[in-house]
Amino acid sequence: MKRLYEEECTRAQLFGSPKPNWNEFLTINEQSTISSERSCEKFDEKNAQNEVTFKEDLGKIGGGLDELNSTLVNTQKKINRLKTIFGGCGNILRVCLNDDDDHDLKNVNTLSENNIITNQVMEDEPTFSSRLQNSDGQLNKLDILINKAERAELSLSGQNKQMKRFLK
């Protein structure tokens, strides 16, 4: 405290102003310390409130992405069922048109794509769920949410391509 007072006296000499009184300096310094402590406490309270809100929002987003991914898995299963049902009708029509070789290659590629996408979604789901539950850091949670969103986007675009091919 004495060092701060000496610095204040030196500053006063440099600027040509009168030296501060020791008692006045103490009261001013105590007031500034009290006000800075109050502002720090307010900042900490706001920061804690923001952190709680942020965690709640992350939980809501994660739940929504989990629901979206499970819906996409169910949709993929239904697409695969439709392909097996209507694929037989398509095979009959294509056989009549002597387009066997082309159809077999397309069918194998489509089924393997379906299986790959479905397997990736099923394999990644436990990993992402356990990482979300075990991670304490907000950055890890954000990474998980980004990965879920990317996986959902890839799955959705793959299903759209499959439906377009199926409807042709």
pLDDT in tens, 33-83: 888 888 888 888 888 888 888 888 888 888 888 888 888 888 888 888 877
- Distance (Å, whole) CA 166 – CA 100: 17
Q: Assign 105 a pLDDT band (cuts: 50, 70, 90).
A: very low
- Distance (Å, whole) CA 17 – CA 2: 19
- Distance (Å, whole) CA 121 – CA 132: 16
Q: Can you read off the two tokens belonging to residue 7?
A: 């610095």
pLDDT reading at 134 higher than 70: no
Q: Assign 121 a pLDDT band (cuts: 50, 70, 90).
A: very low
Residue 60 has a CB neighbour count (10 Å cut-off) of 10
pLDDT greater at residue 117 or residue 61: 61
pLDDT reading at 139 higher than 70: yes
Which DSSP state fits 20?
A: P
Question: Is 115 in a helix, a strand, or coil?
Answer: helix
pLDDT reading at 129 higher than 70: no
Q: Can you read off the two tokens belonging to residue 166?
A: 């199926």
Question: Is 28 in a helix, a strand, or coil?
Answer: helix
pTM of the complete model: 0.43
The mean predicted confidence, pLDDT, of the chain is 74
- Distance (Å, whole) CA 156 – CA 74: 12
Question: Is 85 within 8 Å of 168 (Cβ atoms)?
Answer: no
Q: Can you read off the two tokens belonging to residue 115?
A: 């299986």
